Amino acid sequence: MTVRRQSLAERREALGYTQETLAQRMRVDRSTVARWERGIQTPQPWMRPDLAKALQATPDRLAALLDGTTPQSAPSSTVAPTGIAGLGDLDGRQVIDSIFATAQEWQIADRRIGGGALYPSAAHYLTHEIAPQLVSPTFGVSVPLLFAAAASITEIAGWMAHDSGEDGNARRYFDRAFRLALAGDDRALAANACASMAHLAIELRQPHDALRIAAEGLGQAAATHGTSRLIARLHAMRARGLALIGDRAGCCTALEDAERILDQAGGEQPARWIAGFDEASLASEAALCFLQLTELGEAERRAREVIRLRSEDRVRSRTFAQLTLANVLVHAGRVDEAAAIGHEACGTTASLNSARVVHQLRALGGVLGMVPKSSQVSSFLAALAGLSVASGSNGEMSSWPV
């Protein structure tokens, strides 16, 4: 049973916050603050220092305001095992809303601190909260919506696994997300899973698989509303695949299609659960396309555009753009500039838990380690030597579900 946290609401009001202004301070949606106060959801552990600061409370005082509902009996390796009320304690409508809120918070945290820090929590949540619901749903819950919600969380777990360097697990999660979306008759979510699978296929240097999967995603998305940004993302995945096989004309056409559709999306309300895709996202994919095609001037322009557009709360995305730019500069023979950017990215990894970032930094270091050692290059290599990352086990991969 959920218990309303009246003392939390009173503390907020005493400090002059509305639910909306506290939400802005915490970088969450107003409905999230409302759920905290209704006792439906508990602030995730990584949010609590900021929340305590906003409410001018010690950690113990914040725990008291939350009325003893902090997460319990979780594995020590998890960051946020069950930051919400157990799904079995909620009514049918609350189950879906709670999963949706969890998905949103994880996506926000993932962008800030990387999937490696969150992946154990996602796996725990899927096993101990989502799986029991799929076997024995709470009375009153819509089963198709439950499958859709499970698909969304599973796809997010796939991205966390990918960011942890566990591409075999990522592939399995994306596979399950696609199948769950189909079971829930949610074609937009099925298309979303296709976009993620296509991305992973590109990372695994499987361009023909990526093109086939993206085409399937476009077919799924075409029959649903609120999918313009998703369709643009799928065209961007097509562009990446076409660049890998050296089809410049096809790649440029796909990028133009993505840009045109993204421009038309305007104020369209996106389908629920669908991952965001914006101007910076497209610029990031375009930069990688042009780097693959060795059109270095255009690749540099697009990478710098991403760095300009991505704010400090999108740390990982901005860092990837820096690494793309560094690789462009290496290809252009501007190794000192590349080393300086790599050095800056090394500093950023202190706030990230992303095996992908570290792997890309090491790849850059491998290239710069073979050039004459200027002071910039030496400084970067010294900073790189101080980095560490847990190596994930990819495991055996089965065939794609598409």
Crossing angle for the helix pair 248-265 and 279-292, to the nearest 10 degrees: 180
pLDDT mean over 143-160: 93
Please report, as a single letter, which amino acid is at residue 10.
Answer: E
Q: Is the pLDDT reported for residue 73 higher than 50?
A: no
Name the residue with higher pLDDT: 203 or 113: 203
Contact 284, 301 (CB under 8 A): no
The CA distance from 44 to 121, in Å, is 11
Q: Which region holds residue 9: left if phi is over 0, alpha if psi is between -120 and 50, else beta?
A: alpha
Report yes or no: 235 and 259 within 8 Å, Cβ to Cβ. Answer: no
Per-residue pLDDT averaged across 231-254, rounded? 98
Every domain of the chain and the residues it spans = 1-73
Distance CA 94, CA 326 (A): 46
Say if residue 339's pLDDT is above 90: yes
Alpha-helical runs (H) found in 85-227? 92-113, 119-125, 131-135, 143-163, 167-183, 187-203, 207-221
For the record, the structure tokens of 183 come out as 């079971």
Bridge partner list, 41 = 84
Over residues 344-389, the pLDDT tens digits come to 998 887 667 888 998 999 999 999 999 998 999 999 999 988 875 4
At 106-125, the pLDDT tens digits run 887 887 778 877 888 888 88
**Single-letter residue type at 219:** G
Q: Which of 251, 224, 216 is nearest to 236 (CA)?
A: 251
Distance of CA 263 to the CA centre of its chain: 23
Q: Is the pLDDT of residue 248 over 90?
A: yes
Query: Is residue 325 scored above 50 in pLDDT?
Result: yes
C-beta separation of 262 from 232 below 8 A? yes
Nearest-CA neighbor of 159 among 34, 316, 32?
Answer: 316
Specify which of 60-74, 285-299, 369-383 reaches the highest per-range mean pLDDT.
285-299
Pick the CATH number of 1-73 from 3.50.50.60, 1.10.1040.10, 3.20.20.60, 1.10.260.40: 1.10.260.40
What is the reported pTM?
0.77
Write the DSSP string, 306-367. HHHH--TT-HHHHHHHHHHHHHHHHHTT-HHHHHHHHHHHHHHGGG---HHHHHHHHHHHHH
Contact indicator for 210, 240 with CB cutoff of 8 Å: yes
Task: Give the residue from 112, 134, 130 showing the smallest Cα distance to 121.
Answer: 130
- CB-based contacts of 10, cutoff 8 Å, min separation 6: none
